[in-house]
Amino acid sequence: MVIYFSGTGNSRYAAEVIASELKDELQDAGEYIKAGKRGVFSSEKPWVFVAPTYCWQLPKLFAEFIRKSGFSGIRNAYFILTCGSETGNARAKTARFCKEKGFIYKGLLEVVMPENYVALFSVPEEHECRRLTENAAHLLKESAKYIREGKNFPLIKAGTVDRIKSSSLLNVGFYGFVVKAKKFYATDECISCGRCVKSCVLNNVRLVNGRPEWGKRCTHCMACISVCPEEAVEYGKRTVGKRRYLCHEKAYIK
């Protein structure tokens, strides 16, 4: 079973590709999280968890969902992390998490896709986004054989810098000082469509007098800023004038 979490579509796309190749069931963890429900899953095929990389680790929101959910059947677990450049030493953290949950860790696949963290970085141009997405699809299709054959994903070697990036201290600092909702706001271009409200997996956005307002719960998935059809959602001054990104690609490319 393939279970994924995605904000702007990169990890959803990766999950669709791998599920298609494996002819396996696909589950969106975001739907459970938004509804405040834990998952109860059963599968005789390996578990494949797909998510974006947050500060060179598995997103806390997704890890907590897995931690609270029930899994019966096979214990083999593969992890696929999408990223804008690399995953640091996420492998080590994910392996320990796997042991904690009672899974048999079968490795982590690093899949580079278009940068979508528009609150800090810039989104590539459209042609580059397409190139990265197509490369990712080919990597995923080639890597599906490891899952079919029950083999571990190839080992991703981590150096000293990678270990620092994925350290618990840096991760705590990221969530404590960077992941905040207070800088989100809507400009006068807002048309009160409510897409930002629907996209928020933490139900942190609501319309007040036709304009979105953000609460304090946020995971910086960038869904609200990316789904706005008028590009009316901004994050302080960091996003002004920047391209937005949503992955609209289909899994079934040649």
Give the tens place of pLDDT for each residue, 58-85: 999 999 999 999 999 999 999 999 999 9
Check whether 252 has a pLDDT greater than 70: no
pLDDT in tens, 195-250: 999 999 999 999 999 999 999 999 999 999 999 999 999 999 999 999 999 998 76
Residues 6+ apart with CB under 8 A from 218: 179, 180, 181, 184, 202, 204
pTM across the whole model: 0.95
Q: Which tokens hold the place of 39?
A: 């998952």
pLDDT tens figures, 94-145: 999 999 999 999 999 999 999 999 999 999 999 999 999 999 999 999 999 9
Q: Which of 27, 8, 25, 29 is nearest to 82 (CA)?
A: 8
Angle subtended at Cα 94 by Cα 89 and Cα 95, rounded to the nearest 5 degrees: 100
- Taking only the tens place, the pLDDT of each residue in 32-60 is 999 999 999 999 999 999 999 999 999 99
Angle at 250 between CA 248 and CA 253, to 5 degrees: 135
In the three-class reduction of DSSP (H, G, I as helix; E, B as strand; rest coil), residue 149 is classed as coil
State how beta strands 2-4 and 26-28 pair.
parallel
